[in-house]
Structure 1
Amino acid sequence: MVHQQETLINELIKLIEGGGAHATLKDALADLPKELRGVKPHNLPYSIWQLAEHVRIAQRDMLEFSKDGSHQSPKWPDDYWPKEAEPKDDAAWDKTIEQINTDRAEFIVLLKSADIYERIPHGDGQSILREALQAADHTSYHTSEIILLRRLLGAWKSK
């Protein structure tokens, strides 16, 4: 049983980090020209900046919920999406990317240190396993949107 749980945790880590058959979030954001961060092509509702910041906010919420019974989630949907189409500066962009990476690494530490099946005491049935799957699914979904926006903007090279 221990081996099975280790195998599952290792597969969850791969899923959270992304890749495999698909591009990672890191790939999707790599070498994006600064001037395209805030563009909403073809009247689409979000820019790449808004999608990246949304991934950060949601992932952070799932991580904090998983760890802290006093955590208060942002108001849905208003506080999960930035109002501004683009980051105010390079530092804001860099901070978002850094926070996504830091929180992802912290989620992986949590996976390795907790009983992934145990119900989160302050939740209503959630487990670390569920939160990890949700975080991976959510990031994957928005990663594909970022790649689509990059294609529409002529800023994505097929690999």
Structure 2
Amino acid sequence: MHAEQRKKLINELTDLIRGGNAHVTLEEAITGVPAHLRTVIPDNLPYSIWQLLEHIRIAQKDIVDFSISKDYKTLIWPDEYWPQPTDNVSDEQWEDSVAEINDDQRRFFDLLRDESKDLFSPLPWGSGQNIVREAMLIADHNSYHIAEIIVARRLLGIWK
């Protein structure tokens, strides 16, 4: 792959992970959620906005850790991917979760920009996964659950 093509691909994958374009970003989805509604599970939905945010954080961190290191430790599905319901989430917990999501995205973007990495070669510790596939997985997974946050907000009457 030529340097210019690689740069274009990295820019497209980065934009895809950041969100926007055809769907709202995580920041747009969570801005303005009142603290007292973060942990409310809307009728007929299985998760609160907090649980969805934390699941995004946990799953994305898992994907990034897997993509970066052969020392990756597999999490137990579903127990270690989904937080239990809770009645209260502090502003600090909320902000820490968002900060970690952003930090893990930056770690992944650094991996994408590392010219020593072949974006299409299978990761030696995986079962055929490559960095491009993992980038698309992050984008796909996050956008799916961001949409669920929007649905939860609509049901709670706190969306546009």
What TM-score does the superposition give when structure 2 sets the normalisation length? 0.94
Give the Cα separation in 2 of the matches to 1:85 and 1:4. 46
Deviation readout 1:25-69 (Å, 9 max, x if unpaired)? 110011111011001111311000000000000000000001111
Q: Classify 1:86/1:103 alpha carbon distance in 2 versus 1 (closer, same or farther; 3 Å).
A: farther
One-letter amino acid of the counterpart of residue 121, structure 2 = E
What TM-score does the superposition give when structure 1 sets the normalisation length? 0.94
One-letter amino acid of the counterpart of residue 154, structure 2 = R
Look up the match of 1:6.
7
Task: Specify the SS of the correspondent of 1:42.
Answer: coil
Q: CA deviation at 1:86?
A: 4.8
1:151 correspondence with 2:154: yes
Preserved contact between residue 49 and residue 86 of structure 1 (Cα < 8 Å)? no
Task: Specify the SS of the correspondent of 1:72.
Answer: coil
Give the Cα separation in 1 of the matches to 2:113 and 2:30. 27
Give the Cα separation in 2 of the matches to 1:108 and 1:27. 21
Q: How does 1:131-150 map to 2 (within 5 A)?
A: 131-150=134-153
Give the Cα separation in 1 of the matches to 2:63 and 2:29. 22
Give the Cα separation in 2 of the matches to 1:87 and 1:23. 26
Q: Which runs of 5+ in 1 are unaligned?
A: none
Deviation readout 1:8-31 (Å, 9 max, x if unpaired)? 111000001000121101100111
Q: CA deviation at 1:87?
A: 4.9
Q: How does 1:116-127 map to 2 (within 5 A)?
A: 116-127=119-130
Look up the match of 2:17.
16
Q: How does 1:1-159 map to 2 (within 5 A)?
A: 1-113=2-114, 114-157=117-160
> Where does structure 1 differ by over 3 angstroms across 4 or more consecutive aligned residues?
85-88
Superposition CA RMSD, Å: 1.2
Q: Which runs of 5+ in 2 are unaligned?
A: none
Give the Cα separation in 2 of the matches to 1:147 and 1:111. 29
Q: CA deviation at 1:136?
A: 0.6
One-letter amino acid of the counterpart of residue 7, structure 2 = E
Moved more, 25-34 or 77-86: 77-86
Preserved contact between residue 40 and residue 46 of structure 1 (Cα < 8 Å)? yes
Preserved contact between residue 39 and residue 89 of structure 2 (Cα < 8 Å)? no
Preserved contact between residue 50 and residue 86 of structure 1 (Cα < 8 Å)? no
Preserved contact between residue 35 and residue 89 of structure 2 (Cα < 8 Å)? no
